[in-house]
Amino acid sequence: MSTATTTPATTPSPQPARPDLRLSPLHVLRSEWLKFWTVRSTYWTLALTAAVFVGLVVAVSFGMRALSAQQQVNEAGPLPLIPLSAGAQLAMIPLAVLGVLTVTSEYSTGMIRASLTAVPTRLPVLWAKATVVAVVTLVLTLVTVLLSAVLASAILHSTGGSLDAGDPQVQRIVLGTALYLATTTLFAFSLGGLLRHSAAALGVVLTLLLVIENVLNLLAQVVWKWLQHVTPFLPASAGSRLTMTEQQLTATNDANLYQVHLSAWQGYAVLVAWVVVILAFAAIRLRSRDA
C-alpha cells in the first residue's frame, strides 16, 4: 500500500527591482559640462575671443588717445567705454563658432545618438548644452570686458578719460557687453541646434549678423528709408544697444525717421526674443525628428 505525497506549492521569489537608469537634470548638465571641455575647439575659440577683444580695445584706445591729442575725438560718452563696442563686434565671430560647434559637432560625429539614448526625453540635453554655453561665455566675457575697461581707462587717462565704477552707465555697459556676447553665442547655438550642420549654421549666423544687417542698415539710411521700421529689431542691431553709451543711444534713436526708439534694455529684450524663438524651433525639431 502506497501513500500519496503532496508537494507544497512554491511561492516564486520576487524579481529584484530594476534600477532607475534615467539621468537627472543635474547628471545631464554634468555630462554636457564634461563634453564641452573635452572638445579642442572650446579652448581655441575662448582664447581667441579674449585675445581679439582685449587686443582691439587696446588698439582703439591708443588710436583715440592720438586723435584726442589733436582734438579730433567727438565726445560720445566716457572715452574708455567707446572701444568696448568695437571689441564686442569682432569677438562675436569666434563666439559664434563656439556656439554652433557646441551642438553641431555631436551631429557630425554621430555622438548625439548616444546622448539621446541616455536621455530619451531629449530636451534636457538641449537645455543643458545651452546652460553650459551661456554660463561659460558670460563668465569669460565679463572678465574680459572688465580687464579691457581697466586697460582702456589707463591708456586714455591722460586725455581725461577715466571710469567711475559707481556710475550706472559704466555698470550697464560693462555687464551689458558681456550679456550681449553671451546671448549672441546662444543665438548661434540655437541656429546650430535647428540646422544641425556646422557649415550651414555658421554661414547663416555670420552672414546675418555681419553682412545682411550692415547692408540693411546702410540701405535704410541712403535708399529705402522704410527699412528703418525693421532694422532696429534685427538681432545684432537691437542687442548691441546694450553696449552703447547714452550719447550713442540718443544719436541712434534720433537718426530713425520713423521714431522707432529702443532703450538699451529694450534692444536686448529683442535679441533675447530671437534666441527664444529659434531655440523653441530647435527643441521642436529635436523632439519630432531623429538625430
Mean pLDDT over 208-218 rounds to: 91
Q: Where are the domains of the chain?
A: 25-288
211 pLDDT higher than 90: yes
Phi, psi of 82 (to 5 degrees): -65, -40
Task: Average the pLDDT over 121-142 and give the result.
Answer: 95
Taking the CA atoms of the chain, what radius of gyration do you get in angstroms? 26
Q: What percent of the chain shows pLDDT beyond 70?
A: 88
Cβ(171)–Cβ(145) under 8 Å?
Answer: no
First to last CA, the chain: 74
More confident residue, 180 or 122: 180
pLDDT in tens, 18-31: 444 567 889 899 99
Give the relative orientation of helices 123-155 and 264-288 as an angle to the nearest 10 degrees: 150
What is the rounded average pLDDT of the residues 109-126? 85
Is the separation of the CB atoms in 264 and 174 below 8 Å?
no
Tell me the C-alpha distance between 82 and 162, whole Å: 12
In the predicted structure, residue 224 carries a pLDDT above the cut 80: yes
Q: Which of 165-174, 183-192, 274-283 has the lowest mean pLDDT?
A: 165-174
Cell of 211: 553682412
Instruction: Evaluate whether 100 touches 90 at the Cβ level (below 8 Å).
Output: no
Are 274 and 188 in contact, with CB atoms under 8 Å apart?
Answer: no
In whole angstroms, what is the distance from residue 17 CA to residue 19 CA? 6
pLDDT at 147 over 60: yes
Q: Is the pLDDT of residue 17 over 70?
A: no
**Nearest-5° Cα angle at 13, 7 to 18:** 165
Answer yes or no: is pLDDT of 67 > 60: yes
Across 82-91, 162-171, 255-264, the highest mean pLDDT is recorded for 82-91
Question: Using 50, 70 and 90 to split pLDDT, how confident is the model at 10?
Answer: low
Instruction: Provide the grid cell at 208.
Output: 546675418
Rounded Cα gap, residues 30 and 9, in angstroms: 50
Q: What is the mean pLDDT of residues 281-288?
A: 92
- The pLDDT value recorded for residue 198 is 92
Higher-pLDDT residue of 206 and 109 is: 206
> ∠ CA 254-255-260 to the nearest 5 degrees?
70
SS (H, E, C) 191-234: HHHHHCCHHHHHHHHHHHHHHHHHHHHHHHHHCCHHHHHCHHHC
Mean pLDDT throughout 143-155? Answer: 93
| Cβ neighbours of 230 (radius 10 Å) | 15
Please report which confidence band the pLDDT of residue 175 belongs to, taking 50, 70 and 90 as the band edges: very high
Residue 124: half-sphere exposure toward Cβ, Cα within 13 Å: 17
Mean pLDDT of the chain: 86
